[in-house]
Amino acid sequence: MSEIDDDHDREPRPNGAAEDAEPRVRVEDRRHWARADREPDDDDASSSPPSTQPTIVDEYRRRAEEAEARLQEYIGAFKQAREEHDQARLRLERDVERKVELRFGSLVADLVSVVDELDLALAHAGDDGTAASLAEGVALTRDRFVATLARHGVERIELDGEPFDPNVAEAHRLDPVADPGLDGKVTATDRPGYRLGDRVIRPARVAVGKLVR
């Protein structure tokens, strides 16, 4: 009998009757991204986003940066303190030098009066021919005294023929002059002055020429 006849000879199944049971196939999606309830594996760990929690390396780096910042602060404070110390030391040295210079200047001002007396003695000895030997000894003493002052920075101010400078000299008289070249210039030094470096210890006492027409 043909297959067609076999189909027709089969009686139809009642409505709602279950067909012959056939094995049901269960499909399981093994794609890892489709499984929500699966356990994470090693591949997932490598593809997961990095943790935002600080690691021990980050903590050590942070501590090292803080320590370096504090070190720089200490270095800056040390440099500032050393600079302030150097400035204070320089101010102290200048103050000491200034005080020493003032005290030495006061001493020199007292000593130059001795030179004035020796100069006066020499002026009187020149009028007396019998005191020539004495005058020679006084002149020697006076020259040594002035040389000693010069070795210690004391300079004698003698301004004969120089233009009058009120910063280093005092004009106590005016000498009439007919030469225009002598007008305003020192015609005589009645008392020499002295200075120590840039400081005038004692101004010179001079006469200044005044042109007479």
170-212, pLDDT tens digit by residue?
A: 998 999 998 888 899 999 988 889 988 888 889 999 999 998 8
201-to-59, 64, 130, 131 alpha-carbon distances in Å = 71, 64, 36, 33
Residue of higher predicted confidence among 56 and 38: 56
pLDDT at 47 over 60: no
Residue 135, pLDDT score:
80
Does the pLDDT of residue 24 top 80, yes or no?
Answer: no
Higher pLDDT pick, 94 / 7:
94
How open is the CA angle 54-58-60, to the nearest 5 degrees? 125
Strand-pair category, 186-191 with 193-196: unpaired
pTM beyond cutoff 0.85: no
- Above 60 in pLDDT, residue 50? no
Over residues 35-41, the mean pLDDT reads 52
Q: Where are the alpha helices (DSSP H) in 126-181?
A: 132-151
Mean confidence (pLDDT) of the chain: 78
- Between CA 164 and CA 170 the distance in angstroms is 9
The predicted model gives 40-68 an average pLDDT of: 70
The confidence score (pLDDT) of residue 165 equals 92
Q: What is the helix (H) or strand (E) element at residue 162, kind and residue range?
A: none
pLDDT score for 4 = 43
- Alpha-carbon distance values, 129 to 121, 136, 204 (Å): 13, 12, 30
Task: Tell me if 192 sits within 8 A of 158, measured CB to CB.
Answer: yes
Burial profile 42-61: b = 16 or more Cβ within 10 angstroms, e = fewer:
eeeeeeeeeeeeeeeeeeee
- CA Rg value for the chain: 58
Residues 117 and 87: beta-carbon distance below 8 Å: no
Encoded amino acid at 18, one letter: A
Instruction: Give the pLDDT band (50/70/90) at residue 138.
Output: confident
